[in-house]
Amino acid sequence: MRILGVDPGSTRIGYGLIEKGSELTLLKYGVLEMQTKTGIDRIHELSRAFKKLLITLAPDLAGIETLYFSKNQKTALQVAESRGVLLLGLIEYGVPVKEFRPGDVKIAVANYAMADKIAVAKMVKKILRVSELTGHDDASDALAIAITTAHARTWENI
């Protein structure tokens, strides 16, 4: 089963694809960066880029982080818009979606709800048995969401 984790942001969206077999295997990860920073053009750019990504990655299941309250209302609104575009893309592509709060992802991966991004990335590397993850932490966060989704799927089947 191919599981996609998505870390929504205002202009940078992290993604991570893993394979769930007898073990979890890293397939691909990265970041979609929007060149357009605000407005309808950003939403349209994100929609096009994410649909291309879904076609390329062909996930069977996806996990996405829920919106948490931000001190910056403008950023929170932009992340909410992005999240809506991402959810619609997954629905249109026919990918079942699981949603997780940031603290639940941190607990699932690092066993601590207040874990920082460094601790999360370290545990993602251990779980996926890779020595290095390069690029933005949005991608390692997305992989943590994918891992959480894989584990949640297992719990549901018990």
Residue 132 a catalytic site member: no
Which one is catalytic: 45, 65, 137, 141?
Answer: 65
Which one is catalytic: 81, 137, 138, 141?
Answer: 138
Contacts 24+ apart (CB under 8 A), 86-91: 86/6, 86/8, 86/13, 86/46, 86/50, 88/47, 89/47, 89/50, 89/51, 89/54, 90/6, 90/54, 90/62, 90/64
- Dihedral of CA atoms 19, 31, 66, 91 in degrees, nearest 10, equals -70
| Measured distance CA(116)–CA(112) in Å, rounded | 9
Which one is catalytic: 7, 45, 81, 137?
Answer: 7
Residue 137 a catalytic site member: no
| Measured distance CA(93)–CA(75) in Å, rounded | 27
| Measured distance CA(106)–CA(141) in Å, rounded | 9
Query: Is residue 125 within 8 Å of 133, Cβ to Cβ?
Result: yes
Residue 138 a catalytic site member: yes
Give catalytic residue positions. 7, 65, 138
